[in-house]
Amino acid sequence: MMIADQSLQILIVDDNPLNLKLLETTLAKDGYQVLSAGNGPVAREIAFAKKPNLILLDIKMPGEDGFQVIQQLKENSATTAIPVIFLTGVSDIDTKLHGFELGAVDYITKPFHPREVLARVRLHLKLSIATNSLIASQANKLKQITEAQTSMLVTPEMYPRAQFGVYYSALNEAGGDFYEVLPISDDIFGYFVADFSGHDIKTSYLTVSVKALLQQNSALVYQAHESMQMINDVLVEILPEGKYLTACYARLNRKTKQMTIINAGHPPGIFVPSEGRATRIDMKGDILGIFKEVYFGSHTIDVNPGDRFYMYSDGLIESSKEKIVWSAGSNKIVAACEAARSFPIQEASKQIARQLFSENVSIDDDIVVLGIEV
């Protein structure tokens, strides 16, 4: 947590020496520790080494422009959480929207006034501090959870509008794999599949914490990747040493016909369009609960009625006894998803699991298969 007398670092990135000097003087007088860079590559090196609290970033620079800089910052787990305010002489809406899509929190239009710069810097530092405080508060509450894994698993009958089917099988009494379906609004649902490291009683307690975090952080105001980021921030605080989880989170907007998929070190999901062949959605992403700064794979697809998407845990296709890993076994689940087209979504997940079990592969892990239909 940030303390009152801790200096706050701000990185200024601008190829104009006069702009750099003006901003350095303005911010230094207000008590901030200022770092500066005249181009994108140097700025990224400083951001990675110093982890500033905020970055003021010029858009138009020779070579690597501001859009390229922020894209690389957001794809680096060490710098993805640093808030970025763009400095720009351009005021058209398309440019601004593009910056927001890349992760900027605000714009300051040139020529800028020192008082406006200070006001916007203070605002976004306050928001950052408030977010960190919220994360700390949630972590503190969840550390007090002592109840066992008694929460009821969601069933298709509970949320018929979610249009999903699930197969769940725990290897032991304390399962490390679990799933959740979240009604975010009348037309938007979240679907989550995760796999904890380990299969002991402690793990069963932790699944309750993760489900609570999902409920708290899957509101409409958060984008899918923001929900995962906030969940990770709390898990870093509460998970015992050596514990972590992989996860896949899908958010489906049935009104806009778009699905956003977030991957956190989990096996790839399978997309089965109503017209077309099933395909894997391959994405890289960091696991949850180990690192404060993480990068999650994100992919948004346009969907149509009848399209399906499957998430699963690695126990479905991985076997330590048979020396089969998910990277090799995932091709089998693509074929199984194709073969399950004729079954209602409520039955398709079970059929997929049964088809893979029938191949005489020894199953030695928990299994979750969660199917979604648009």
Q: How many CB atoms lie within 10 A of CB 227?
A: 24
Which one has a higher pLDDT value, 316 or 219? 219
Q: Are 234 and 135 in contact (CB under 8 A)?
A: yes
Nearest Cα neighbor of 77 from 242, 300, 228 is 228
Q: Does residue 259 lie within any of the structural domains? A: yes
Q: Are residues 107 and 249 in the same domain?
A: no
Q: Are residues 360 and 226 in the same domain?
A: yes
Q: Does residue 263 lie within any of the structural domains? A: yes
Q: Does residue 62 lie within any of the structural domains? A: yes
Q: Are residues 210 and 183 in the same domain?
A: yes
Q: In the beta sheet, which residues pair with residue 191?
A: 181, 250
Percent of the chain with pLDDT over 70: 84
Q: Are residues 106 and 208 in the same domain?
A: no
The confidence score (pLDDT) of residue 288 equals 94
Q: Are residues 169 and 68 in the same domain?
A: no
Least confident of 161-170, 299-308, 312-321: 312-321
Q: Are residues 252 and 103 in the same domain?
A: no
d(CA 139, CA 133): 10
Q: Is 80 exceeded by the pLDDT of residue 111? A: yes
Of 77, 109, 141, the residue at which a domain comes to its end is: 141
Q: In the beta sheet, which residues pair with residue 196?
A: 245
The confidence score (pLDDT) of residue 6 equals 60
The mean pLDDT of the chain is: 85
Q: How many CA atoms lie within 13 A of 189 on its CB side?
A: 19
Q: Are residues 117 and 167 in the same domain?
A: no
Q: What is the bridge-based pairing of β-strands 33-37 and 84-88?
A: unpaired
Q: Does residue 93 lie within any of the structural domains? A: yes
Q: Are residues 200 and 105 in the same domain?
A: no
Q: Are 50 and 19 in contact (CB under 8 A)?
A: no
Q: Are 220 and 186 in contact (CB under 8 A)?
A: no
pLDDT band at 143 (very low <50, low <70, confident <90, very high): low
Q: Does residue 355 lie within any of the structural domains? A: yes
Which one has a higher pLDDT value, 80 or 140? 80
For 94, the domain range is 9-141
Of 107, 141, 175, the residue at which a domain comes to its end is: 141
Which one has a higher pLDDT value, 316 or 121? 121
Which one has a higher pLDDT value, 171 or 34? 34
The confidence score (pLDDT) of residue 4 equals 40
Q: Are residues 164 and 132 in the same domain?
A: no
Contacts for 358 with CB less than 8 Å, ≥ 6 apart: none
d(CA 237, CA 140): 8
Of 97, 114, 141, the residue at which a domain comes to its end is: 141
Q: Is 50 exceeded by the pLDDT of residue 306? A: yes
| Span 38-51, average pLDDT | 94
pLDDT band at 5 (very low <50, low <70, confident <90, very high): very low
Q: Does residue 147 lie within any of the structural domains? A: no
Nearest Cα neighbor of 310 from 278, 275, 286, 284 is 278
CATH number of residue 182's parent domain: 3.60.40.10
CATH number of residue 116's parent domain: 3.40.50.2300
The total number of structural domains in the chain stands at 2
Q: How many CB atoms lie within 10 A of CB 151?
A: 13
Q: Does residue 2 lie within any of the structural domains? A: no
d(CA 372, CA 369): 10
Which one has a higher pLDDT value, 196 or 346? 346
Q: Are residues 166 and 132 in the same domain?
A: no
Question: If you search the block for the tokens 């990675």, which residue do you land on?
Answer: 48
d(CA 296, CA 260): 12
Q: Are residues 202 and 321 in the same domain?
A: yes
Q: Is 70 exceeded by the pLDDT of residue 27? A: yes
Q: Does residue 150 lie within any of the structural domains? A: no
Q: Is 90 exceeded by the pLDDT of residue 297? A: yes
The confidence score (pLDDT) of residue 324 equals 47
Q: Are residues 96 and 165 in the same domain?
A: no
Which one has a higher pLDDT value, 41 or 143? 41
* Residue 199 tokens, joined: 């299969």
Residue 83 preceded by cis peptide, ω within 30: no
The confidence score (pLDDT) of residue 130 equals 85
For 172-226, how does the pLDDT look when each residue is reduced to its tens digit (9 = 90+)?
Answer: 544 568 899 999 999 999 999 998 886 555 666 677 788 889 988 988 889 999 9
Q: Is 70 exceeded by the pLDDT of residue 244? A: yes
